[in-house]
Amino acid sequence: MTFYDVKQKYNGFNFEKYIGNISDEMIKNSIQKEILDSMDFLNLLSPKASNHIEQMAQKAHEISVKYFGKCILLYAPLYVSNFCINNCVYCAFSTINKIKREVLSFEEIEENCKIISSYGLRHILLVAGESNTKTPIEYLKKCVEILKNYFEGIDIEIYPLDESSYKALADSGVDGLTIYQETYNENLYKLLHSNGEKSNYRYRLETCERAGRANYRNLNVGVLLGLNDFISDIFFTGIHAKYLQAKFQSAEIGISFPRLRPTVGTYQPKTLIPDKNLIQAICAIRLFINRININISTRESKKLRNNLIPLGITKMSAASSTEVGGYLKRGQSEGQFKVKDTSTVDKVKEMIYEKGYQPIMKDWIAL
């Protein structure tokens, strides 16, 4: 059994009907519980729960401090290639967009690493568009060998692999995986991803399980907020994360909340997710899964990131560039999306200290 089978059990579940019957009493009851079930989680995501956001935020804060203290791990993404065989309509790297394509040479990777590590960062996210011919495993392994000389934690956000390839990358030094399902709505997913490897919804959905079997220490999931109905997509993200936590007990499970940002192309989001919904989603996740990493990237503004910290953020990117090799030559090519918080690492650290929290550069050492 995989998460695909778990998700199938919700086929036919009428979200609209259930949400229409949620009462204030049900929401209050869910907030007070120690252990929440999936319907409690849905209660907290409902429009009616926005009237209880202060109580949810208070509890989310208490749980976060209890399990994580007041620490925020900082990291940066390094884009090594923007070649992609897929045509995701919402992404600058889509194969249909006429942008300058490149793959970093190993010398360029080394130069970017020197710059990023000079900011003080010790965790890196290696990102590549999906092309196993332009960025094959052997290339990625070599990238990781270089990254290892500069960083203690190496996560990857690349095309989905089979278990043996995940093992090969783990042997090179990778310890975490980020993979976004984009949307859990299978029909919409197929409409948005009509060609390339990414059109295989099930293979992508089961990706974290292949990495989990390869003993990855960090497994991070998420959806691209704005593609689909907010409530059902956040609901399945939470259910997926909880499933992974139960199945891979030695792994740290994390959730990111990327909202669609402007990019090249003409795609218009189905819905613009307002800040209040994002805040509600973060609080609901924290109450549903107490021990989960929550990551907020530089897609969000400095002000919002600052305000989200007490709700249970445990990871933040800083000084990010979404261009290929963008630390060495910033502003010279099309990034995957436009970064909103352009603060330096020192400014992000300052902001974290001002909130009474501590920025963490490294949270583990590989033995």
- The Cα 155–Cα 144 span in angstroms is 10
**DSSP of 227-284:** SS-HHHHHHHHHHHHHHHHHH-TTSEEEEE-PBP---SSS---S-PPPHHHHHHHHHH
Site string for ligand SF4, 195-234 (x = CB under 6 A): ---x------------------------------------
Residue number, 195 or 332, with CB nearest to ligand SF4: 195
86 binds ligand SF4 (CB under 6 A): yes
Q: At what angle do helices 275-288 and 53-68 cross, to 10 degrees?
A: 50
Question: Which residue's CB is nearer to ligand SF4, number 130 or number 334?
Answer: 130
Question: 280 is written with which tokens?
Answer: 């509600």
Stretch that binds ligand SF4, among 4-12, 25-33, 56-64, 90-98 (CB under 6 A): 90-98
DSSP 34: S
Q: Is 299 a residue that touches ligand SF4 (CB under 6 A)? A: no
Q: Does 84 bind ligand SF4 (CB under 6 A)?
A: yes
Give the residue from 29, 63, 89, 36 showing the smallest Cα distance to 239. 36
Beta carbon of residue 159, minimum distance to ligand SF4 (angstroms, whole number): 7
Of 57 and 84, which CB lies nearer to ligand SF4 in the complex structure?
84
Which residue has 């939470």 as its token pair?
Answer: 238
In the complex, minimum distance from the CB of residue 310 to ligand SF4, in angstroms, rounded to a whole number: 31
Q: Which CB sits closer to ligand SF4, 40 or 334?
A: 334
**Torsion angle of C-alpha atoms 24, 26, 30, 31, degrees rounded to 10:** 20
Q: Which is nearer to ligand SF4, 129 or 359 (CB)?
A: 129
Q: Is 93 in the site for ligand SF4 (CB under 6 A)?
A: yes
Site string for ligand SF4, 120-159 (x = CB under 6 A): ---------xx-----------------------------
What gap in Å lies between CA 134 and CA 74, rounded to an integer? 29
Q: Segment contacting ligand SF4 (CB under 6 A): 88-96, 110-118, 247-255, 313-321?
A: 88-96
- Distances 65 to 68, 196, 291 between C-alpha atoms, Å: 5, 43, 11
Crossing angle of helices 106-118 and 137-147, rounded to 10°: 40
Residues binding ligand SF4 (CB under 6 A): 84, 86, 88, 91, 93-94, 129-130, 198
